[in-house]
Amino acid sequence: MRYNIYTILFLLLFSSCDDFLEEIPKDKIIPETVQEYDELLYGEAYMRAQDMVAKYLDLMTDDVKSYAKTRGFSDAREKAFGYYAWQADPEMAISGARNSDDAWEWYYHSILICNMTLEDLPDASGSLTDKEDVMGQAHFLRAWNYFMLVNLYGQPFNQETASIDLGVPINDVTGMEDKQFLRSSVAKNYSFIEEDLETAIDLLLSSNKEKDNFKININAAYLFASRVALYQKKYTEAIKFANLALANKSALYDLNSKNPSDRFINYKNPEIIFSYGEEVTPYYSSGYIYKSNFPISDDLGNLYVSGDLRKQNFFKSGLPKKNGSGETTGVFGFAMRTSELYLNRAEAYAESGEIDKAMKDINKLRSNRFSSADYMREATTKEEAINIIREERRMEFCFERHRWFDLRRWDRPSITHVFIRDKKNDVIETYVLKQDDPAYTLPLPFAVTTNNKEIKNIDRPERNPEN
């Protein structure tokens, strides 16, 4: 398929791809080689620092609390209030201004680039090995985008109702068409994700290319497949894919050997499988220590016992400091890590009743996180093991965009957030997200429902302070 210049210009106007675009004939902007498609994919479909979206994810969890400076300095909470207090329209700031939720737009933009690549790449010049590698990346990225979308805007996965629960539209369009997309079911979303991941794994195995941590690779695909299986309670598959990745890469970061000045997610971390983006959020990063913001909750902080090195390595003055390199390279914002493989497998083992195997994985992780020999945790029942694993996931992955999704797929508990609206007169408001609350699903962005009158939105309740 060939695209007219207006379609491609629309997609690539702000692209950071290399200079190959400048040499294309004036009436067409068409990648011609597999290298150019690789650059297109990396520049337009990968999550980069400037494209980080859904910065509000951790604000909705029990891992944060609101902190207001008593005087001076700016308030980083103003734009975040709608998410922190689970408002019916979370895009609305305290001031009444609308803050655009651009996650939907970004993920579907990436999907479009993947669709274009998968459709046209077979006709481009280049080796079969290179084509398989790029197509494998495209299938992985498309699966990733739908996974993020359905966990943001789709109803939580439930095996019994997934076939009728609202998911997100599946877009197979490669051009600019006047088409109104409707929601698919959650079950169809996950089926599509699984098919893409299966194809990605086959292609990445076939191409078998050596890569650094910044390009999608076979171990990242195995890890992601383990995560997707776990979310659907397919525990045998979650274990299988975790085993495949751990057979290739099993190292963990021993925090006893870590330089205290290094960030946790950095180029020295041996457990990083795939790194992407940059931590640029203004709400709870360590750079906002002097502003009203969202530090870690007391509940989260109290989970870290004496000897657990994660607390001092993950936080500074109650604010996260996990992300980014000490050299400020603009990379190592987020990462898929081997620790997730151990925790995914542990959860799958525990849910399958294999308690000893589950606790072995947990203690393997903890042995690399403690300064003392007193790191062992024990469980005698399935319920105890599951509770321990959930605590470990919370401590290990805090502020890495796992917690909200974990809460959704587990028991969607009630959460209480306290907010001091006015720093001068200490007006304190309490907001409660109830058990199984509809607000565990985000409403579609205002821009989406404005432009597509046919798409169905969720019924998200109005929420007022309870005091």
pLDDT band (50, 70, 90) for residue 290: low
Interval 72-104: pLDDT, tens: 567 778 889 999 999 999 999 988 899 899 999
Contact 442, 461 (CB under 8 A): no
> What is the pLDDT averaged over residues 225-242?
98
> What is the pLDDT averaged over residues 215-228?
98
Closest CA to 155 of 231, 42, 70, 74: 231
**Cα 78 to chain center, whole Å?**
23
Residue 50 φ/ψ region, left for φ over 0, alpha for ψ in the -120 to 50 degree band, beta for the rest: alpha
Collapsed DSSP state (helix, strand, coil) of residue 358: helix
Taking CB atoms within 8 Å and a gap of at least 24, the contacts of 156-159 are 156/408, 156/409, 156/412, 156/440, 156/441, 157/186, 157/190, 157/231, 157/232, 157/409, 158/186, 159/232, 159/233
Interval 13-59: pLDDT, tens: 333 343 333 333 344 467 999 999 999 999 999 987 656 789 899 99
Contact 232, 157 (CB under 8 A): yes
Q: What is the pLDDT of residue 73?
A: 61
Which residues, at least 6 apart from 264, have a Cβ–Cβ distance to it below 8 Å?
253, 258, 313, 314, 321, 322, 323
The two structure tokens encoding residue 446 = 């205002």
pLDDT band (50, 70, 90) for residue 174: low
Query: Is 80 exceeded by the pLDDT of residue 130?
Result: yes
Query: Is 80 exceeded by the pLDDT of residue 12?
Result: no
Closest CA to 169 of 146, 197, 142, 196: 146
Dihedral sign for Cα 304, 306, 309, 314, please: positive
Residue 321 CA to residue 331 CA, distance in Å, equals 14
Q: What is the pLDDT of residue 292?
A: 75
Contact 285, 226 (CB under 8 A): no
pLDDT band (50, 70, 90) for residue 68: confident
Angle ∠(175,443,115) on CA atoms, nearest 5 = 20
**Cα 352 to chain center, whole Å?**
26
First-to-last alpha carbon distance for the chain, in angstroms, is: 60
Most confident range, picked from 22-36, 234-248, 303-317 = 234-248
Closest CA to 279 of 311, 314, 324: 324
* CATH 1.25.40.390 for the 235-277+322-401 domain, yes or no: yes
Residue 79 CA to residue 95 CA, distance in Å, equals 8
How deeply is 177 buried, as exposed, middle or buried, from its count of CB atoms within 10 A (0-12, 13-18, 19+)?
exposed
Residue 35 CA to residue 441 CA, distance in Å, equals 39
The conformation of residue 315, written as its DSSP 8-state character, comes to E
The two structure tokens encoding residue 375 = 């790191």
Beta bridge partners of residue 64, listed in sequence order: 296
Structural domain spans, the chain: 55-100+280-320+416-467, 235-277+322-401
Closest CA to 81 of 431, 466, 433, 398: 431
